[in-house]
Amino acid sequence: MKTLNKASLILFPLLFLSLFKHSHAAGIAIYWGQNGGEGTLAEACNTRNYQYVNIAFLSTFGNGQTPQLNLAGHCDPNNNGCTGLSSDIKTCQDLGIKVLLSLGGGAGSYSLSSADDATQLANYLWQNFLGGQTGSGPLGNVILDGIDFDIESGGSDHYDDLARALNSFSSQRKVYLSAAPQCIIPDAHLDRAIQTGLFDYVWVQFYNNPSCQYSSGNTNNLINSWNQWITVPASQIFMGLPASEAAAPSGGFVPADVLTSQVLPVIKQSSKYGGVMLWNRFNDVQNGYSNAIIGSV
Confidence of residue 16 (pLDDT cuts 50, 70, 90): very low
Residue 277 has φ and ψ, to the nearest 5°, of: -105, 140
Mean pLDDT, rounded, for 179-208: 98
User: Domain boundaries in the chain?
Assistant: 27-294
Interval 45-102: pLDDT, tens:
999 999 999 999 999 999 999 999 999 989 999 999 999 999 999 999 999 999 999 9
pLDDT score of 275: 98
Burial (Cβ within 10 Å: 0-12, 13-18, ≥19) of residue 74: buried
Q: Class for domain 27-294, per CATH?
A: alpha beta
Let me know: does 238 contact 194? Beta carbons within 8 Å.
Answer: no
pLDDT at position 168 over 70: yes
pLDDT score of 25: 66
The closest alpha carbon to 278, from 260, 254, 296, 249, belongs to 254
pLDDT at position 128 over 70: yes
Interval 272-282: pLDDT, tens:
999 999 999 99
Catalytic residues: 152
